[in-house]
Amino acid sequence: MIIDKTRQFATDEELQELDKLYQEAHQLEDKFAVTHDIDEEMKNVFINIHTKIDCIEKQIEKRYILSLNGDITLILRDTKNILDHLTKDDIQHSEKAFITLMSKSIGVPIDEIRQVNNMSDDIACFLAIASYVVSQQRACVYYKLEAESISNLILEKTIQFYPLDKSNLFTMIRQNTATNTLSKIHPKIGKNAELDMITGVATMEKDGLTITMQEFKKLNVRTSAFMLLDYAVMCLTEAGSKKPDVIIPLCDYMKDRNLTSIEETRKQVKKDMETLYNITISFKDKKKGGKNYIDIRLLGAKGIIKHDMIYMYFNVPFYQMLLNSPVMPLCKEIFALDTQKYPHSYHLFRKIQEHKNMNAGKRNENIISVKALLNAANGIPPPEEVKNRNYKARIKKPFEDNMNALQLITWKYQNDNPDMDFDTFLNSNVIIDWKSYPDQTKRLQAKAEKIEKIKAKKKKKQPQ
């Protein structure tokens, strides 16, 4: 069908001819719906009708494109106007019409078409939305203009219809001392980091990890950089960790991060990749016989965004370190947390998930100390800095507000007392209740079997 923006450029004769051709096409479709059979003659007639429709529509479209005179502002105005009026029913109708048309033209049942295409709902939605602004995309091609802004508008509309998918909450992620610590750093010069005024290099230490950041003043290090690192490692894990490069569709990242502005997301991702490229780490692996890692750069090259895809390349030593790291369940809802409103929520939820994974099957699996959580929540003032001075406003309230932002869990103090003093608060434990979590039975059984094998092996070595 002709979209409204081009219809005004059609003559009365063209509109009448199109109405006639569409009626003939619908009659063939109705016949197919009854017989579920299409012979060669019917197929040729069907193709001939749509060829005529396409020819007339292209003539009309050309007049519309010429009227735009290469003005990108007009093209984007028309695109936005069309997309603003689209509903989800329109999109579903468009997708159904596309699949039906394909089914009619090649004589294959609709269910088989769906199965062969195997498209996710959001991708199908993106393509259906794009079909409504084809003329605007062709205008960009005709005038040799950058069509990325139209893609941005289509992507933003897709995200409106298909926000974060919560049906598959958990995935797996490779993790170790370095990545677990990096996910919770919040460098502040003069407090937890030192800046070399000559070289511009900042250094900080946390939990046995030394982090070096080149060109620190230019970086504006934010939590989003380490969320991107976690997201990239998650994608690496999901892809089987076969190679050190990761390609992330910007649309997927925006959905999982619950972001809506593609321009702002693109800018932030570029800054975050710049931050990650300028970071090196040093630490000793805590495992028995663990290696010393000295000045390991996270990324082997600066990441780029091209055609709405994020390209990241892990530095080979860092990638090899990840290959030797165990996996843990990760709730993908962690990426959707609003770190502007709740700046400590990501750090806290990451720590809670690490703790549960490390203590799976133990009595303290869902019990974690306030001190451990505060140590993870960089940005909340350290207890020694606040001591007893207004600790409720400076520590306790932001801690509780950010914990309450974690929607997949409920929590409470083990010895709940609304009037607890500063020391009681610091020495308290928190009990976590998960609304959903992957079954760990098989994992714990495998772990128990491994321990038994080690015991049996040691017993054999003992002298009789």
Q: What is the 3-state secondary structure of 372-388?
A: HHHHHCECECCHHHHCC
CA-CA distance, 158 to 95, in Å (whole number)?
13
CA-CA distance, 143 to 68, in Å (whole number)?
10
Claim to verify: residue 225 and residue 250 sit in the same structural domain = yes
Question: Residue 257's pLDDT is what?
Answer: 92
237-251, 263-277, 291-305, 376-390: range with lowest mean pLDDT: 376-390
Q: Domain end: 110, 135, 161, which one?
A: 161
Q: Quote the Cα angle for 341-385-364, to 5°.
A: 70
Instruction: Read off the pLDDT of residues 208-225 as tens digits, 9 standing for 90 and up.
Output: 899 999 998 888 888 999
Backbone angles phi, psi at 142, to 5 degrees: -60, -40
Query: Where residue 130 falls among pLDDT bands split at 50, 70, 90?
Result: confident
Instruction: Read off the pLDDT of residues 409-464 as tens digits, 9 standing for 90 and up.
Output: 999 999 877 778 888 888 999 999 998 898 888 888 888 888 888 888 777 777 66
Claim to verify: residue 130 and residue 195 sit in the same structural domain = no
Q: How much is the average pLDDT of 75-92?
A: 85
More confident residue, 232 or 29: 232
Burial (CB count within 10 angstroms: exposed 0-12, middle 13-18, buried 19+), residue 256: buried
Claim to verify: residue 178 and residue 151 sit in the same structural domain = no
Six-digit token string for 381: 């003032």
Instruction: Read off the pLDDT of residues 315-370 as tens digits, 9 standing for 90 and up.
Output: 999 999 999 889 999 999 999 999 999 999 999 999 999 999 999 999 999 999 99
Percentage with pLDDT > 90 across the chain = 40
Residue type (1 letter), 60? I
Element housing 431 (H / E): strand 429-434
Q: How much is the average pLDDT of 70-81?
A: 90
Claim to verify: residue 62 and residue 121 sit in the same structural domain = yes
Claim to verify: residue 241 and residue 380 sit in the same structural domain = no
Q: Quote the Cα angle for 394-400-403, to 5°.
A: 130
Claim to verify: residue 175 and residue 278 sit in the same structural domain = yes
More confident residue, 123 or 173: 173
CATH code of 297's domain: 1.10.10.10
CA-CA distance, 159 to 259, in Å (whole number)?
9
Rounded to the nearest integer, the mean pLDDT of the chain is 84
pLDDT at residue 171 is higher than 80? yes
More confident residue, 4 or 139: 139
Claim to verify: residue 28 and residue 94 sit in the same structural domain = yes
Question: Residue 443's pLDDT is what?
Answer: 83
Residue ranges making up the domain that contains 8: 4-161
Claim to verify: residue 97 and residue 211 sit in the same structural domain = no
Question: Residue 93's pLDDT is what?
Answer: 61
More confident residue, 293 or 115: 293
Question: Total structural domains in the chain?
Answer: 3
More confident residue, 63 or 442: 63
Claim to verify: residue 24 and residue 58 sit in the same structural domain = yes
Cβ of 324: how many Cβ atoms within 10 Å? 12
Q: Domain end: 335, 357, 379, which one?
A: 335
Query: Where residue 32 falls among pLDDT bands split at 50, 70, 90?
Result: low
The sign of the torsion formed by the CA atoms of 378, 379, 385, 387 equals negative
Question: Residue 121's pLDDT is what?
Answer: 67
The per-residue DSSP string of 41-97 comes to HHHHHHHHHHHHHHHHHHHHHHHHHHHHTT-HHHHHHHHHHHHHT--HHHHHHHHHH
How far is C-alpha 415 from the chain's CA centre?
Answer: 37
Q: Domain end: 320, 335, 350, which one?
A: 335
Question: Residue 188's pLDDT is what?
Answer: 84
pLDDT at residue 89 is higher than 90? no
Claim to verify: residue 115 and residue 223 sit in the same structural domain = no
The model's pTM: 0.68
Claim to verify: residue 464 and residue 450 sit in the same structural domain = yes
Claim to verify: residue 347 and residue 299 sit in the same structural domain = no
Cβ of 464: how many Cβ atoms within 10 Å? 3
Q: How much is the average pLDDT of 20-44?
A: 74
Cβ of 272: how many Cβ atoms within 10 Å? 24
Question: Residue 430's pLDDT is what?
Answer: 96
Q: Find out whether 27 and 81 touch, Cβ atoms under 8 Å.
A: no
pLDDT at residue 124 is higher than 80? no
Of 277, 281, 278, 275, the C-alpha closest to 210 is 281
